[in-house]
Amino acid sequence: MRIDVLTLFPEMFAGPLEYSIIKRAREAGVVAINLVNFRDWARDKHHTVDDSPFGGGPGMVLKPEPVFETVEAVRATQEVKGPLVYLSPKGERLTQALARELAALPCLTVLCGRYEGLDQRVVDHLVDREVSVGDYVLSGGEPAAIVLLDAVVRLLPGALGDDQSTEEESFSDGLLEYPQYTRPAEFRGWKVPEVLLSGNHEVIRRWRSEMSVEETRKKRPDLLIGPKAEATHE
Ligand code: 9D3
């Protein structure tokens, strides 16, 4: 999969892309992530990317020209077509279902906003999909893009140990995880549940399944019932 990320702050991605699953996926050639600073595509002497809003008001708005020019230049280098995803507080919520959908594509372009946002003509005539990571205020699209990249890249075939991913999906999809324990069997007087020491794998499997449902019922009952459950998990 190829992912181009358009941002004014490519340096913000350095750390997150150099660790763990994303690092290994890139090294294995499972994904190619290309960071593009759209300031580099501003044609004027001062590489201007923003301006004050027509009609007045606070803050700055990203100008359409550098964004269009960057997207057009990036598209010219992509051998396969893919959607332009704009990270925006007005977007549809990022869910596991959306992450799966995006992970199935051969190519993805991700646009990060800053300031008060983008000129609406970019949204209307260039963006295919607006995505938000939740109802809280971030200072820009970059942290949201890092979340999206992580959720998508770990789903790519070959990004994870295969056994781990498939087992996880079939057993607990849509539920919270059961509690995990490791040695010592007793720590400061707190004992590990007896069943886990029993060696009876069928009994352990059943206990974990029950704990999963119980944990979900207590902490996230919305995952078990309601119209959203289906949308989020499939
Ligand atoms: C305080 C500014 N707000 C004025 C009404 C609007 C606003 C503009 C830009 C709020 C946040 C941002 C920057 N956020 C993102 O670019 C963003 C985001 C988010 O803030 N929350 C959840 N998901 C996302 S995706 C991109």
- So what's the pLDDT on residue 170? 47
The residue with greater pLDDT, 32 or 232, is: 32
Angstrom distance (rounded) from CA 4 to CA 80: 12
- Collect all residues with Cβ–Cβ distance below 8 Å to 134 and sequence separation of at least 6: 93, 94
Distance of CA 164 to the CA centre of its chain: 20
Ligand 1 close to Cβ of residue 117 (< 6 A): yes
Ligand 1 close to Cβ of residue 138 (< 6 A): yes
- Dihedral, CA of residue 159, residue 165, residue 169 and residue 170, to nearest 10: 140
Containing structural domain, residue 178 = 169-232
For a mutational test of ligand 1's pocket, the pick from 62, 88, 119, 149, i.e. the residue with the most ligand atoms closer than 8 A to its C-beta, is 88
39 and 136 fall within a common domain? yes
At residue 16, does pLDDT exceed 90?
Answer: yes
- So what's the pLDDT on residue 225? 86
Mean pLDDT of 171-177: 78
Q: What 3-state class would DSSP assign to 167? A: helix
128 and 222 fall within a common domain? no
Examine residue 162 and state whether it is found in any structural domain, yes or no: no
CA of 2 to the centre of ligand 1 (A): 26
Mean pLDDT of 180-190: 98
Whole-number Cα distances in Å, 3 to 140, 152, 211: 19, 10, 38
Mean pLDDT of 121-131: 98
68 and 178 fall within a common domain? no
Position 108 confidence tier, pLDDT thresholds 50, 70, 90 = very high
149 and 56 fall within a common domain? yes
The type of residue at 23 is K
**Closest ligand 1 atom number to CA of residue 136:** 21
Examine residue 163 and state whether it is found in any structural domain, yes or no: no
Q: Whose CA is nearest to atom 3 of ligand 1?
A: 116
Q: What 3-state class would DSSP assign to 117? A: coil
Could you read off the pLDDT of 80-96 as tens digits, one per residue? 999 999 999 999 999 99
Last residue of a domain, one of 95, 127, 153: 153
**Model pTM greater than 0.75?**
yes
Ligand 1 close to Cβ of residue 135 (< 6 A): no
Domains in the chain, number: 2
Examine residue 159 and state whether it is found in any structural domain, yes or no: no
